Amino acid sequence: MKKMAVVLLGAFLFLNVSVTSTYAANDDTVYQQVLEQVQETNEEISEKIAEADERADEILAEAKEEASTNAARSEEIFAKANQELDKLIAVLINETNALAENTKRYGESRGYEIICELVEVEIGDRKVWIDPLRVGH
């Protein structure tokens, strides 16, 4: 339940978007396009976080189950699980950073400043900083 609350809070923060123009132009159509792109990217980031959290829970559950039947190898089992979590988190960070950077460039090319602001989320038993989009002043 705690993880679901974190994911929902993260999704709320991701979708709480505002956009400001870095140029004098204030074209509503362009603004709406940028806003939609930011919202779509934040939704995709939120989905990736939820998927990674679910997979992390599976990795940890599998490790606990395996260690309970093979106590002599529990240290090795958990070390392997930690390596899998490290890889999972690295992929998540790389993918979300790429999504954020592409959307940031999209907004800037249309005269809007898009800012990535780090938000802490829980993946498995770890805290991870992910950079969903919000927009600056």
Q: Write the pLDDT tens digit of every residue in 35-82.
A: 999 999 999 999 999 999 999 999 999 999 999 999 999 999 999 999
Q: Taking the model in full, what pTM does it have?
A: 0.78
Residue 95: name the closest of 136, 53, 132 by CA: 132
CA distance 91 to 33: 28
Q: Cα separation of 97 and 117, whole Å?
A: 11
Give the Cα separation of 101 and 121 in Å (integer). 19
Band (pLDDT 50/70/90 cuts) for residue 115 is: confident
- Per-residue confidence band for 133, with pLDDT thresholds at 50, 70 and 90: low
Q: Does residue 31 contact residue 123 with C-beta atoms inside 8 Å?
A: no
CA angle 34, 46, 117 (to 5 degrees): 65
